[in-house]
Structures are given as C-alpha cells and as structure tokens.
Amino acid sequence: MSLELRPITRDDMAAVCDLLRASQRFDGVPQLVELEEMEEEFDDETVVLATDTRLALRDQQVVGYVYTVHLPSEVREERCFVFGTVHPEHRRQGVGTALMEWALERGREQLLSSGRTLPRYLRTDEFDFIEPAFRLFERMGMQPVRYGEELLRPLVALPPIPTVSGVTIVPWPEGRDEEIRQAKNTAFADHWGSTPTPPGPWQHMVRGVTARPDLSFIALDDAGNVIGHCLNSRHPSEDEMLGRRDAWIDSLGTLREWRGRGIASAFVVHSLHAFLAADCTHASIGVDSENPTGAARLYRALGFELQHRRITHQLEV
C-alpha cells in the first residue's frame, strides 16, 4: 500500500489526537492528551500547519504524523524539535522512517533559514522504555545527548513552609506575566538546551489549557523585583488512568545571584501545600539529570522519587 504524506489541517485534529492516544496506550506512556491540548499545541506561533506538519495516510486511514517546532534564537544556539508517532498497527512498515526523513529535512530548512552562525541542532526526546524510537533516531544519525528524569512525591508529611531572608514568595499575580518571562529567560540562561522563551509561547505556558497560575508562585526581592518563578500545571484527564491526582511543577527558576539561599526549596514546598489544598494527591516534576544547580538532589531531598526517564537525541546541522 502506498503512503501519502500531506499537511495536517484543523479538521484532522481529532484523528491526530486519537492516534496519539492509541500510541501512548500501546507504549505504556503515562499521559492522556486532550483534544483541547493538542489544538493549543498546533495553534502556537512556532508551528505552521502547511509547512511544519505532515500526516501519514494509507488508503485514507491516518497511520502517523510528525511536526517540527523551530525555536529561533539570537543567543547560545538554535533548536528545532521533532514530535510525532506512528499507530502501533502500522509500525515497522516504513511509516516512521518516511515521517522522520521529512521532518529532519524540514528542520534543517528552518534552522538554516535564520542565516545566523550559532550552533544549530535538531532534537527529539522519548521515554527510555520506547526502544524502537531510539533505533529509528539512531538510523537517522541522531545520538543521545541528555537524560531527563520525571520525579513523583505523594502529598503526605509535608515540610513546613520556610521563610527566606530578603525574599517574599507570593502567588502568581495578574498583569506581570511579561516581567516574569524576562526573569525566567535570565534565570535559564545557563541551563543546557535553553534559549529565551518568546511572548507567544510564554502565554501558552502561563495561560494555556493545563496551566494553573492559581497554584503558582513568584519570588520578589525587597524592592519588589521578580527574582524567581514557579509555574505549575494540572492534567485532570489523566487522574483515572494514573489512579492519583497529580499536579506538576513545570518551570522553576531563580536568578543566578539569588541561588543558594533556599528559594527553590521554598517554591517547591509552597507548591506542595497548594497542591494538597487543591485536592491533589501527588506532585510531579521534571529535571535534567545534569542540571548544574543541583536541582535533582534538591528534589530528592524534598521527598521526590524517580518514576521515569527520558532521553534526548540530537543531530547537529
């Protein structure tokens, strides 16, 4: 049977969401993406449906998809991420190879289009138990370069909320998202693989479908300047599947000059108490296993334990 690749359209969103769910169930991925989340993902300014997406069809049946997310940058490096999957019943039939070949070529075009001389990388990541994906990545010339961890903590025996000298931690405010974005970009400047987040994607992070600014916090110095942020989220559609009610610490950062004073610990503890008050049972957080700030050790000291690992593969352009 011949394989057709064409751009994804708005009318395809439900079929793409169903395919992703089927793939996640088969692979044992502990996620359940809602249609509204997927629509929001494709509505981002970094994804143009006509040029950056492809749907794979056989006899008009949706059997796979892929899309690229180009993150232009004027500092450090430029990245393009590849996301996608193939329906379990159509794997090992060349669908994934065709999609990845298209995506890597499209990603190269996007990375080269800026004309900048920064290092340029194509990246993708996946849970470490999905070995067929890694074999595909490596056939495409991509190599493992980074390991991320997803940690989990039950919301029991919570430590008391600490105070930090010279710092006030307050609930996420209205009207300061842009100021917080700028502080976030500064805080993450020394994190591997991080480049400044533009305003559009930041709004999706802060005000999107799963975002919970009402469970999030910022840190202020004595002059009222933002010196850190802790942005959290909830995925209630996954509660039944997981058998628990997780809240996620999604993005946590502190300005370099304020590190080592306990702000990150205070953010986590504030979040744990907020999650419990919102009737959650567990807290989750993702961390780069080689994070230079020692975040992985900090989270374990606060009661988090390893649940899953993800591996990032990379191809330099």
pLDDT in tens, 56-114: 999 999 999 999 999 999 999 999 999 999 999 999 999 999 999 999 999 999 999 98
% of the chain exceeding 70 in pLDDT: 99
d(CA 280, CA 275): 5
d(CA 279, CA 245): 8
Burial state string for 161-178 with b = 16 or more CB within 10 A and e = fewer than 16: eeebeebebeebeeeebe
The reply to whether 4-141 and 151-309 are identical in fold is yes
d(CA 97, CA 141): 12
| 7, 135, 251 from 47: Cα distances, Å | 12, 26, 22
- At 179-229, the pLDDT tens digits run 999 999 999 998 888 999 999 999 999 999 999 999 999 999 999 999 999
Q: How confident is the model at residue 45 (pLDDT cuts 50, 70, 90)?
A: confident
Q: Report H helices in 160-306.
A: 177-187, 199-207, 239-242, 263-277, 295-301
- pTM value? 0.94
d(CA 23, CA 235): 18
- Which is the CATH superfamily of the domain at 151-309? Gcn5-related N-acetyltransferase (GNAT) (3.40.630.30)
Does residue 291 carry a pLDDT above 80? no
Burial state string for 274-287 with b = 16 or more CB within 10 A and e = fewer than 16: bbbeeebbbbbbbb
According to DSSP, the residues that pair with 53 across neighbouring strands are: 67
Q: Report H helices in the chain.
A: 13-27, 35-42, 49-52, 95-113, 131-139, 177-187, 199-207, 239-242, 263-277, 295-301
| 49, 158, 316 from 291: Cα distances, Å | 34, 25, 22
Domain residue extents for the chain: 4-141, 151-309
Class of domain 4-141: alpha beta
